[in-house]
Copies of this chain bind each other. A is one copy, B any other.
Amino acid sequence: MIIRLDMQSDLPIYSQLMNQIIEGIASGELQPGEDLPSVRSLASDIGVNLHTINKAYTLLKQEGFIQIHRQKGVVINPDGMPGITPEYEQKQSEQLRPMIAEAICRSMSKERLLHIVSSIYEDISHAEKGNA
């Protein structure tokens, strides 16, 4: 899997990493049970410190996306992804609300907004893996 980092972004590196791994899972590019690189190898691959990788992995583990086995390594959670918990629903609403408010301010119609969300949803779902 190709990792792209934007060092100029206001998003921390570990957040960018988390986002890309989550999108990799969502697109099917990363399958449950699949291995992820070790903190050291990924760190040297993309040129950051191993603690930065470790932070991303630790947070992904806390949210249930991956499993970390002390001497084996890191895998996409083979027991499946976390579900739609009440805490997740609340977090999601809190994140969506300011974005939707700004869209309304800018006179974006509900239909147009829904179409954008729908397009991104399809774009991620239907992402092909280059090795078809």
Q: A residues near B, CB below 8 A?
A: 19, 22-23, 25-27, 65, 81-84, 88, 92-93, 95-108, 110, 113-114, 116-118, 120-122, 124-125
Contact = CB atoms under 8 A, between A and B. Distances in A.
B116 A96 contact: yes
A125 B121 CA distance: 24
B124 A104 contact: yes
Dominant secondary structure of chain A at its interface with chain B: helix
A117 B114 CA distance: 7
A116 B98 CA distance: 14
A78 B117 CA distance: 30
Given A83-B106, A106-B82, A19 B116 contact: no
